[in-house]
Amino acid sequence: MIRPAANSLLRRLARRAGGFVSRHAQNVGTALVQVWANKGRSILTTLGIIIAVTSTITVVALVQGFGNHMTKMVRGYGTQFMVVHPWDPSVRDRHGIGRVSMTIDDIEAVRTECQHVRRITPFVFTENAEIAYGPEKAKDIPCRGVTEEYQIIRNFPVDTGRFFGPIDVENAAPVIVLGRSLLKHLQCDESIVGRYVFLDGERFLVVGLLQPKGSMFGEDQDETVMIPYSVAVKLYPNLRRSIPFLVEASSEQDLEQAQGEIARVLRRRHALKAGQPDDFRIDRQDQAVREFENIRNIASGVLAGIVSISLLVGGIGIMNIMLVSVTERTREIGLRKSIGGRRRDIMMQFLTEAVVLCTLGGAVGVVLGYALCYLAALHPQMVEISVPAWAVALALVSSAGAGVVFGIIPAFKAAILHPIEALRHE
Amino acid sequence: MTAEHENNGRPLIELTEIEKIYRVGTELVHALRGVSLSIGENEYLAIMGPSGSGKSTLMNILGCLDVPTSGKYELRGQDVSKLSQSKLARIRGRQIGFVFQTFELLPRTTALKNVQLPLMYAQVPNKRQLAVSALQRVGLLDRAAHRPNQLSGGQKQRVAIARALAQQPDIILADEPTGNLDSRTGDEIMAVFDSLHAEGQTIIVVTHEEDIAARCRRIIRLRDGLIASDERRHPVSSVLSPRHAPARDLVNAT
């Protein structure tokens, strides 16, 4: 009993939907014919929209490109680790002087007591070590005294030989791992592995070469050497009482907790009273990433503002030309009404036309944006830029939206025309 | 269907005391002052009258482009004098086919697409088929793919007639259909109307040309918003072409 009724209802709905679709397809067709018939005018009219979309696409792609580049650089450092320095809160830039101290015992305490710390390494760092290999000398080489865990925390793979191991660290073995740039400085090749070099006068066995990393922030990452920290503190005894360390949290989510644990352990060990400031500083890399992300968001916000203004300007142009079009085609409107077009049909027709015009403008803008990005990418020092899909979608949707908003008034004007007056219009 | 309605004895169109008052500035203009008229199925009617007589107003009301200020208009038994704009549009789309003096074809649109236009609004299936058969009836099927600027005046008007025919309307309302055509082409157009009438179509022609009106079976003359005369006549024999109109008028007058 109910089935046939439901069936016929469905059929009617389907027919309605079909009619809806076909009428809209027809509207789009009519709109395209109109746009094509007035090519020059259409281009001039949509210029505002074209420019708005072109600039959005280009700037979004550039901001994204630079943002990605930055993020990648920071991520290259690793985001799961923190650097803990001794830090005198009252005086800037006075590391390891006076009571501010950080010792191997502090580091051991952090290692054993903090649950969310997975890896930890002291970081005995000197910026101007001198390395000699036969007659060749390399000066002002950064030297890092670390444990084998440093290799994992900071991701320094070795491609020739090996990194030093826990036994080397424990025994304070005089072994050294060289960065690639050292080969150039020392005028030698990979055969240096297994031979001896002199680091600030002490003899070290070269056990491995680091894989090249390139430069980051203008700093050659391959110009470095690494030795066990236990050797470093012997070689540079003045650094012994103020040793920064690197910590890797058990996961990126645990960074916060790990930071809290470390702070608690160090405050207790340094006998800081409540209310006293920390005598150390914990730097997290993920904060830097977040800051970049912030900058990117701000840039996007500013961009959105600019784009909405230019869309507004472009939209007013669209409204103007649509009003002209309605006036020009008054007789056509009258005819359409006389052969059965209802107000809403006329309204939809002109609204569709405005939307089609704007969307075409948006599409042209997208193409131009791509072209500009392509041109920009030709610059040799350009970062990798790609137009994000969401920017394209946003550009098209917002230009279509501008069509709706600014097409409403002309479409309404067309819809409410009286058929007789419209037909009589000269 | 036609026969059925005729058997019922109800006219296709029934106007009762139609009045139309326009306000022009502060003045009220009585365009129609109480017109009563009934039009049956398959009539071939001319509405004549000098300008200002109200013939355009009457045509607009008959075509559901406008509603009367007072009075009743029944189209196929339905009172259409108080309908909303959107319902009127629906009736125009389904029951009335307009033919205008200036054709009003959409430029840059093929003849076939022009004929399909009312079908699009009426949301009927087989649009193409109906449009093709309408073009066939006016003998322009071979011009289906032509655009208006590729057609002669007479051809344009025939496309317009096909458009009016497409949704198989109850009445065709032609407003000065030959006004923009030379007399020979006008004759051709009237021949199209003649044959449509012969096929059973109801046709109302608004004109000020006696020759044109002479081809109709009934002539209504308006004066000052009232029907001045309503004469039914026998079909004019095809021997009497418009060129002989004065003579024919003489015959009719006696």
Question: Is the confidence at residue B247, as pLDDT, over 90?
Answer: no
CB contact under 8 Å between B121 and A19, yes or no, is no
- Asked if A343 and B85 come within 8 Å (Cβ–Cβ), the reply is yes
**What does the pLDDT read at residue A407?**
95
B89 vs A contacts (CB less than 8 Å): 337, 340-343, 345
Nearest CA in chain B to A12: B123
With CA atoms as reference, report the closest residue to A78 among A113, A119, A106: A119
Q: b/e per residue, A142-178, with b = 16+ CB within 10 A? A: bbbbbbbbbbbbbebebebbebbeeebbeebbbbbbb
Share of chain A above pLDDT 90, in %: 36
Residue B240 pLDDT > 50: no
Q: Report how far Cα B110 is from the mean position of its chain's Cα atoms.
A: 23
Q: Which residue of A has its CA nearest to B87?
A: A342
B126 CB-contact burial (10 Å; exposed 0-12 / middle 13-18 / buried 19+): exposed
> In chain B, which residue's Cα lies nearest the Cα of A29?
B109
pLDDT in tens, A406-420: 999 999 999 999 999
Q: Are A94 and A279 in contact (CB under 8 A)?
A: no
Tell me the per-residue pLDDT of B22-59, one tens digit each, with 9 for 90 and over. Answer: 988 889 999 999 999 999 999 999 999 998 899 999 99
pLDDT of residue A217: 60
**Distance (Å, whole) CA B21 – CA B30:** 5
**Confidence bin at B241 (pLDDT 50/70/90):** very low
Name which of B98, B109, B125 is nearest A338 (Cβ-Cβ).
B98
Question: What are residue B203's phi and psi, to 5 degrees?
Answer: -135, 135
- Taking the C-alpha atoms of residue A239 and residue B211, their distance in angstroms, rounded to an integer, is 119
Average confidence score pLDDT of chain A: 86
pLDDT digits (tens, 9 = 90+) for B188-219: 999 999 999 999 999 999 998 998 999 999 99
Alpha-carbon gap, residue B224 to A65, rounded angstroms:
79
Q: Cα dihedral angle (B182, B188, B192, B194), rounded to 10 degrees?
A: 100
pLDDT in tens, A160-218: 899 999 999 999 999 999 998 888 888 888 889 999 999 998 999 999 999 887 766 66
Contact criterion met (CB < 8 Å) for B92 and A338: yes
Residue B175: predicted pLDDT: 93
What is the tens place of the pLDDT at every residue in B52-96? Answer: 899 999 999 999 999 999 999 999 999 998 899 999 999 999 999
DSSP sequence for A258-282: HHHHHHHHHHHHTTPPTTSPPSEEE
Residue contact B65–A420, C-beta within 8 A: yes
Six-digit token pair at B24? 């022009």
DSSP-derived secondary structure for A277-345: PPSEEEEEHHHHHHHHHHHHHHHHHHHHHHHHHHHHHHHHHHHHHHHHHHHHTHHHHHHHHHTT--HHH
Looking at per-residue pLDDT, the higher value among A86 and A75 belongs to: A86
Report, as an integer, the average pLDDT of A253-270: 88
Nearest partner of A325 among A419, A413, A420, judged by Cα? A413
CA count, 13 A, side-chain hemisphere, A181:
15
Residue B113: per-residue pLDDT: 92
Higher-pLDDT residue of A158 and B236 is A158
Q: Hey, what amino acid is at B250?
A: L
Average pLDDT, chain B: 88
pLDDT at B2: 43
Structure tokens at A201: 């006068």
Percent of chain B predicted with pLDDT > 90: 74
- Where do runs of H (alpha helix) occur along A92-216? 104-113, 149-153, 166-171, 180-185
Question: Chain A closest CA to B247's CA: distance in Å?
Answer: 36
A343: chain B residues, CB-CB within 8 Å: 85-86, 89
CA-derived radius of gyration, chain B: 18
Who among B66, B118, B125 is closest to A339 (CB)? B118
pTM (two decimals): 0.70
User: Which of chain B's residues have a Cβ under 8 Å away from the Cβ of A423?
Assistant: 65, 100, 104
Amino acid at A158: V
* Rounded Cα–Cα distance for residues B14 and B43 (Å): 13
Neighbours of A111 (CB within 10 A): 16
Name the band, by pLDDT with cuts 50, 70 and 90, for residue B254. Answer: very low
Q: Cβ distance B225 to B53 under 8 Å?
A: yes
Report, as an integer, the average pLDDT of A340-359. 93
Handedness of CA A11, A17, A20, A24 (dihedral sign): negative
Q: What is the mean pLDDT of residues A75-103?
A: 68
Q: Cβ contacts (< 8 Å) between B98 and chain A: which residues?
A: 338-339
Q: Look at strands A280-284 and A136-146 and give their pairing.
A: unpaired
pLDDT, average across residues A346-371: 94
Other residues' Cβ atoms within 10 Å of the Cβ of residue B44? 20
Torsion of CA B93, B94, B100, B102, to 10 degrees: 50
Kindly report the nearest CA distance between residue B57 and chain A, in angstroms.
10
Give mean pLDDT, residues B121-127: 86
Quote the percentage of chain A above a pLDDT of 70: 93
| Average pLDDT of span A67-73 | 77
Residue A381's φ and ψ, nearest 5 degrees, are -95, 15
Phi then psi dihedrals of residue A212, to 5 deg: -60, 140
A3 pLDDT band, cuts 50/70/90, is: low
CB contact under 8 A, B100 and A335: yes
Q: To the nearest whole angstrom, how far is the Cα of A372 from the nearest Cα of chain B?
A: 36
Residues B94, A335: C-beta atoms closer than 8 Å: no
Q: State the count of interchain CB pairs (< 8 A) between A and B.
A: 67
